[in-house]
């Protein structure tokens, strides 16, 4: 979001707006404040209160919407039509994805190579798409060769549009009806970047895994207790996916696997 807000500001935006499932809104609020630009955010009314408070603490105008991020998206369009403002919705401008490329750079920096497998808790998909873009640019820069991690999208059984589309060999992911998951970062029933995500999963020889919604919190708690990191439900989902893929023999014993913990537990209240 830092890159996106900086570019919007440099290109003359006078105010910023976006729908969010949570985290992106908090980041936008913070960077908007830093850039001195007013921020409008719409989010589902049951987004954790800590996130709502965090956005407001940075001075953002937050509106809670009945429904999901797709409904929040409609509200943002109305708001912009009436009040103006630059639209920072996922993949509606080019720079959020540029910022997410850093996850790809950091993998190489930290490991000295790319991992064999990436398990990414997927909502709108900017993370997956950004890393995939980073890898091909890193190859053009001569930093890596043609090797790629196998990329897996992880979703919850309560909202798994990308997994379903992957399994049905579709190019686009139809909207998931009645999306429900405690992993609020993953509660994205329709993703504008569906085509790009599905292509990256297939080109990487990876896949997509929907984990049992009822097991997510217990798995996140296991990660916290064993690893001492603030694992949110999304990390719990990634951990369940790891177990499943090992059981199925899709991940081997000696492979380097990276699980993304996209949101901390302390925000989950």
* C-beta of residue 189 within 8 angstroms of C-beta of residue 175: yes
194 belongs to the binding site for ligand PLP (CB under 6 A): no
Residue 262 in the binding site for ligand PLP (CB under 6 A): yes
Compute the distance between CA of residue 53 and CA of residue 62 in angstroms, rounded to an integer. Answer: 9
Name 239's Cβ contacts closer than 8 Å, sequence gap at least 6: 219, 220, 222, 223, 231, 259
Lay out the site mask for ligand PLP across 228-247 (x = CB under 6 A, - = otherwise).
----x-x-------------
Interacting residue with ligand PLP among 125, 149, 161, 236 (CB under 6 A): 125
End-to-end Cα separation, the chain, in angstroms: 23
183, 160 contact by CB (below 8 A): no
Residue 14 or 56 with smaller CB distance to ligand PLP: 56
Of the two residues 73 and 121, which places its CB atom closer to ligand PLP in the complex? Answer: 121
Give the tokens for residue 141.
Answer: 């820069």
206 binds ligand PLP (CB under 6 A): no
Q: Where do we find the tokens 């549009």?
A: 161
Radius of gyration of the chain (CA): 18
Sign (positive or negative) of CA dihedral 254, 217, 183, 156: positive
Q: Pick between residue 122 and residue 182 the one whose CB is nearest to ligand PLP.
A: 122
Q: Is the Cβ of residue 7 or residue 91 nearer to ligand PLP in the bound state?
A: 91
Does the protein bind ligand PLP through residue 127 (CB under 6 A)? Answer: yes
The yes or no reply on residue 189 touching ligand PLP (CB under 6 A) is: no
Convert residues 144-183 into a mask of x (bound to ligand PLP by CB under 6 A) and - (unbound): ----------------------------------------
Q: List the one residue from 124, 189, 207, 236 that touches ligand PLP (CB under 6 A).
A: 124
Using the contact rule CB under 6 A, the part of the chain among 20-28, 75-83, 165-173, 251-259 near ligand PLP is: 20-28
Backbone angles phi and psi of 210, in degrees to 5: -100, 125
Q: Phi first, then psi: give them for residue 123, nearest 5 degrees.
A: -110, -95
Residues near ligand PLP (CB under 6 A): 21-24, 121-127, 185-186, 232, 234, 262-263
């Amino acid at each position: 979001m830092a890159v996106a807000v900086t570019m919007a500001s440099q290109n003359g935006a006078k105010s910023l707006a976006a729908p969010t499932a949570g985290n992106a809104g908090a980041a936008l609020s913070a960077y908007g404040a830093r850039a001195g630009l007013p921020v409008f955010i719409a989010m589902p009314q049951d987004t954790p209160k800590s996130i709502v408070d965090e956005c407001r603490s940075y001075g953002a105008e937050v509106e809670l919407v009945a429904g999901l991020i797709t409904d929040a998206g409609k509200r943002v369009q109305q708001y912009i039509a009436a009040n103006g403002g630059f639209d920072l919705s996922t993949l509606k401008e080019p720079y959020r994805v540029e910022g997410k490329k850093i996850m790809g750079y950091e993998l190489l920096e930290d490991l000295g190579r790319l991992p064999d497998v990436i398990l990414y808790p997927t909502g709108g998909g900017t993370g997956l798409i950004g890393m995939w873009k980073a890898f091909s640019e890193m190859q053009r820069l001569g930093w890596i060769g043609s090797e790629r991690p196998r990329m897996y999208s992880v979703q919850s059984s309560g909202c798994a549009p990308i997994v379903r589309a992957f399994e049905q060999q579709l190019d686009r992911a139809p909207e998931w009806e009645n999306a429900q998951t405690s992993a609020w970062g993953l509660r994205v029933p329709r993703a504008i970047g569906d085509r790009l995500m599905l292509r990256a999963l297939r080109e990487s020889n990876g896949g997509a895994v929907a984990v049992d919604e009822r097991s997510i919190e217990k798995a996140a708690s296991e990660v916290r207790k064993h690893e001492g990191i603030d694992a949110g439900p999304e990390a719990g989902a990634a951990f369940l996916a790891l177990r499943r893929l090992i059981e199925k023999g899709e991940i081997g014993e000696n492979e380097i696997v990276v699980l993304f913990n996209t949101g901390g537990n302390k925000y989950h209240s």
